[in-house]
Homo-oligomer: A and B are copies of this chain.
Amino acid sequence: MFLQIVFLLSFLLSTSHATVQDFCVADLKSADGPAGYPCVAPAKVTSDDFVFAGLSEAANVTNIINAAVSPAFVGQFPGVNGLDLSAARLDLGPAGVIPLHTHPGANELLIVTQGHILAGFVSSSNVVYQKLLKRGELMVFPQGLLHFQIASHKRKALAFAVFSSANPGLQILDFALFASNFSTPLIAQTTFLDPDLVKKLKSVLGGSG
């Protein structure tokens, strides 16, 4: 009798198997679309596709900002494709700074796991919301708004940022302006910054135009 259920349900399951889309691990070799990447065939998916170890080590922060951001977006972690989630690791040395930036395509939730981080964002109404976050505290940054994170002077900090998209994007203000091909006269016209200052910052950050 129990064998019957096995036959019945294995039939049911085999017919539905072909199209079950519990998940959609990204096939990064194919072109993506507005909703993400095509799925790897379920039969080829393994446990490893749902796991990402690339954020387990501290990044090198011996650089000018004394900080590093390591992404686990769909490009690095194909298992998040279609799940409306992704993550990044923020390593900050003492007084390390994640410069002012936006995520054009996602909201962010920050989880501080070590040290103290001063974090804040600027609203469309030009109000700054900021707070000194301690270990275990969370803060949210709504989509598309300028925000920053700074470690306290005394010791290093570690945090994980998670996003409401598998591909949140990242526009760092200084790089958009001074590490891009944005023409100096246009920057000056649209920001009121002095062209000489723009040129100086471009020479440092590698911008052209």
Contacts and interface: CB of A to CB of B under 8 A. Distances in A.
B111 A145 contact: no
A45 B23 CA distance: 28
A161 to B, nearest CB: 10
B51 A137 contact: yes
Contacts of A85: 107-109, 140, 162-164
A40 to B, nearest CB: 8
Contact of A171 (B10, B122, B169, B201): B122
A22 B126 contact: no
Interface of A: 1-2, 4-10, 12-13, 15-24, 27-28, 30-42, 45-48, 50-53, 55-57, 62-65, 68-77, 79-87, 89, 97-100, 102-105, 107-109, 111, 113, 118, 120-131, 133-146, 148, 150, 160, 162-164, 167, 169-177, 179-183, 186-187, 189-193, 197, 201, 204-206, 209
